[in-house]
Amino acid sequence: MSNTETLLSIKELHASVEEKQIIKGLNLEIKPGEVHAIMGPNGAGKSTMGYVLSGRDGYNVESGSVILDGEDLLEMETEDRARAGLFLAFQYPVEIPGVSNLEFLKASVDAQREARGEDAITSADFLKEAKAACKQVNLPVSFLKRGVNEGFSGGEKKRNELMQMLLLKPKLCILDETDSGLDIDALQVVAEGVNSQRSADRSFIVVTHYQRLLDYIKPDFVHVLSEGKIVKSGDASLAHELEAQGYAWLQTAPAEDELEG
Amino acid sequence: MTEQIDKALAREYEAGFVSDVESETFEPGLDESVIRRISQMKNEPEWMLEWRLSAFREWLEMEEPDWALVDYPKIDFQAISYYSAPKSMKDKPKSLDEVDPELLRTYEKLGIPLIEQQMLAGVAVDAVFDSVSVVTTFRDKLEEAGVIFCPISEAIQKYPELIKKYIGSVVPKKDNYYAALNCAVFTDGSFVYIPKGTRCPMELSTYFRINEQNTGQFERTLIVADEGSHVSYLEGCTAPQRDENQLHAAVVELVAMDNAEIKYSTVQNWYPGDEDGKGGIYNFVTKRGICHTNAKISWTQVETGSAVTWKYPSCVLKGDNSVGEFYSVALTRGRQQADTGTKMIHLGKNTKSTIISKGISAGKSNNSYRGLVRMNPGADGARNFTQCDSLLIGDKCGAHTFPYVESRNPSAIIEHEATTSKVSDEQMFLCRQRGLDPEKAVSMIVNGFCKEVFKELPMEFAVEAGKLLEISLEGSVG
Ligand SMILES: Nc1ncnc2c1ncn2[C@@H]1O[C@H](COP(=O)(O)OP(=O)(O)OP(=O)(O)O)[C@@H](O)[C@H]1O
Ligand SMILES: [Mg+2]
């Protein structure tokens, strides 16, 4: 990281799903330790951006570049991107029936350790860490024994995503609407979870629809993603403006759009 | 007991250096004279020979079944050799260097110790001191408890009354085509007897039986748990077995007397054949247990091998309040075909059965569950619960479910649930996003799918079964 001031650099990214162009010229620079909030209307391409960065099958990059920590992210397999420190908290976490949370998390942590040339963590040590993480996100320890997301409530799933982040200690965390569907207490838990992880060598992309979350997590930048690209950037105050006025005033395009004036 | 082992070892030795090849393996073909010779080689009493011959006559009248959803070239029963003594030293690979490296790679992954690798691969092992001592202490302990555990050929000599009473009592000679053939030509297998009120002091496993090596083709197992006794039996081991016999037709009979309990676990991992299914083993097995009053029989199986599997471990719930269970994982890949399931025959009052079947298909394989639940008129208050889940990996494989229900008692309750799912893109993406490679991801998802069955296996077996699935799934992704 020493030779580069930038953790993530996205340049002129164009990507499509099933022949449909969704990301259309995305640019974004993130420095180590920064928190970037991304807001924007439904269907703008926020989740798609997370999938494209993570290398999900079926999401095709047509042009542009993405460099993470000096490495060409687009050349890497999905799992290698994760091992390089990229973490995505899903908007809609999926269930894996019968696979216990603990087993899943330990396998993930071990896979990442192995990639770094470290030995697998001992079960006892891992259990200790996992219990602490449970406590931090306010989930009962019994959730470690349950199947991954199996029968979890919406809010529990989101907290479970956060727990995974705590254990994997990524360099770049993309939180895709981790605050949606949370009760007020849970919202605080998520915000505190993120704040506790803020550090000089960890950056965040926080996708959210609500400025409320940003009152707890003070972002360094707020961007508006619309129709596959960033149409406006600013500081935390931009979130307040959006909350008050919506997105319509930002819509690029049709000239007859009076609000633009 | 040490004597016995010494003898067994000596016999192998003898076979290698003294007798000629002809006397070890019969020329192909099947008629009454072949059966007489088998019986003679085994030094059997007259009644046993007569039993075999009557089964053979029945078999001649029978037709090979064709209702299963499996497809294989017609078997020429005259082209098979029906007797082969333990492999001679000179036929065996001299060292592991001569064994298929694929097989060795798998042993290694399973973490099997070197000496056992050699035994499994059929390498000429002439100084198996470790295993001998294991077997000996094992036998001493069993003897103390009064448990009989020996090759069935030995039991025919030593315990003729028990054998006469129980052999064919659960699977009658003419039960089905392959069972009848087995009765006529079986060469060896295991016999277990647990005396009244005895809890067998350890898990019994064929793995520990030193003269196991070449009982393969027409194996016969008989387990009798006398009143109030308890036994857990493990068949096979998780390593793939080297075997040149293409056709396997085994028979397993379990007898659980009043208040007795038998737990029978199998991990079957025979050679499935190459990508096109060539050279794999055809596995046609008849397994059945009878439960007397308050008795319980539980079958647990993990099937990942064989080119063609035809297998329906069953329970006849004869006594009131008896319980039958069937837990199965069947994984098929490549061009494997499996038609497997169970039969639960409820005769007694308040009998209960549970069927949990997990079928996993990958590649171009076909996996069928075929289960029968029959409630006889006397089965007042009987209950069955069946759950059949299929998991597909990829889109060229098939899963089929054929539940047959026959209820002749209105008070009986039968519940059936079935699901089919796929290893989804979302699940794969989640796993990979967390750093798992695709193969580890699939095996983890599959293991999760099988959890309800694995938890029925004895601990070490469950761990091995998990590893086995992982290895079996290699190359099934993408
Ligand atoms: N597999 C697909 N096939 C076709 N269209 C798709 C596919 N996946 C996403 N899209 C479309 O891409 C667009 C962007 O979707 P995306 O999920 O990224 O939006 P979003 O900004 O995350 O919205 P939200 O705020 O509702 O979560 C949407 O119009 C969506 O319908
Ligand atoms: Mg979204």
Q: Is A20 in the pocket of ligand 1 (CB under 6 A)?
A: yes
- Any domain includes A139: no
CATH of the domain at A229: 3.40.50.300
Interface confidence: ipTM more than 0.90: yes
- Any domain includes A123: no
- Residue B212's pLDDT band, with cuts at 50, 70 and 90, is very low
Nearest CA in chain B to A105: B434
Strands A229-234 and A221-226: antiparallel
* pLDDT tens digits, one per residue of B63-81: 887 776 667 777 888 877 7
Q: What angle do CA A128, A129, A134 make, to 5 degrees?
A: 100
Q: Sort A197 into a burial class: Cβ within 10 Å, 0-12 / 13-18 / 19+.
A: middle
* pLDDT tens digits, one per residue of B289-326: 999 999 999 999 988 877 778 888 999 999 999 999 99
Q: Per-residue pLDDT for B19 more than 60?
A: no
- Select, from the ranges A34-48, B81-95, B455-469, the one with the highest average predicted confidence (pLDDT): A34-48
Q: What are the residues facing B267 on neighbouring strands?
A: B302
Nearest ligand, measured from the Cα of A89: 2
- Residue B20's pLDDT band, with cuts at 50, 70 and 90, is very low
pLDDT value of position B278: 66
* pLDDT tens digits, one per residue of B328-360: 998 888 777 778 889 999 999 999 999 999 998
- Any domain includes A148: no
pLDDT value of position B477: 58
CA distance B329 to B335: 17
pTM exceeds 0.90 for this model: no
Q: Are A54 and A78 in contact (CB under 8 A)?
A: yes
Q: Per-residue pLDDT for B85 more than 50?
A: yes
- Any domain includes A111: no
Whole-number CA gyration radius for chain B: 22
Q: Give A40-43 contacts, CB < 8 A, sequence gap 24+.
A: A40/A224, A40/A225, A40/A226, A40/A247, A41/A226, A41/A247
- Any domain includes A117: no
Q: Give me the torsion for CA of A87, A93, A99, A100, rounded to 10°.
A: 80
Q: Per-residue pLDDT for B234 more than 80?
A: yes
Q: Note whether B435 contacts A: Cβ–Cβ < 8 A.
A: yes
Average pLDDT, chain B: 81
Q: Is A46 in the pocket of ligand 1 (CB under 6 A)?
A: yes
Q: Are A261 and A230 in contact (CB under 8 A)?
A: no
Q: Per-residue pLDDT for A131 more than 70?
A: yes
- Residue B463's pLDDT band, with cuts at 50, 70 and 90, is confident
- Any domain includes A115: no
Q: Per-residue pLDDT for A217 more than 70?
A: yes
Q: Note whether B478 contacts A: Cβ–Cβ < 8 A.
A: no
- Percentage of chain A exceeding pLDDT 70: 94
Q: Which two tokens stand for residue B45?
A: 């009493």
Q: Are B219 and B189 in contact (CB under 8 A)?
A: yes
* pLDDT tens digits, one per residue of B111-127: 666 666 666 666 554 43
Nearest ligand, measured from the Cα of A90: 2
Q: Which domain holds residue A35?
A: 8-97+171-260
Strands A96-100 and B261-268: unpaired
- Residue A141's pLDDT band, with cuts at 50, 70 and 90, is very high
**Mean pLDDT (whole number) for A100-104:** 93
- Any domain includes A1: no
- Select, from the ranges A252-256, B138-142, B265-269, the one with the highest average predicted confidence (pLDDT): B265-269
**Mean pLDDT (whole number) for B31-53:** 91
Number of domains in chain A: 1
CA distance B244 to B263: 30
- Any domain includes A15: yes
Q: Which two tokens stand for residue A164?
A: 């995974």
- Residue B23's pLDDT band, with cuts at 50, 70 and 90, is very low
CA of A20 to the centre of ligand 2 (A): 16
Place of tokens 């408890």: B145
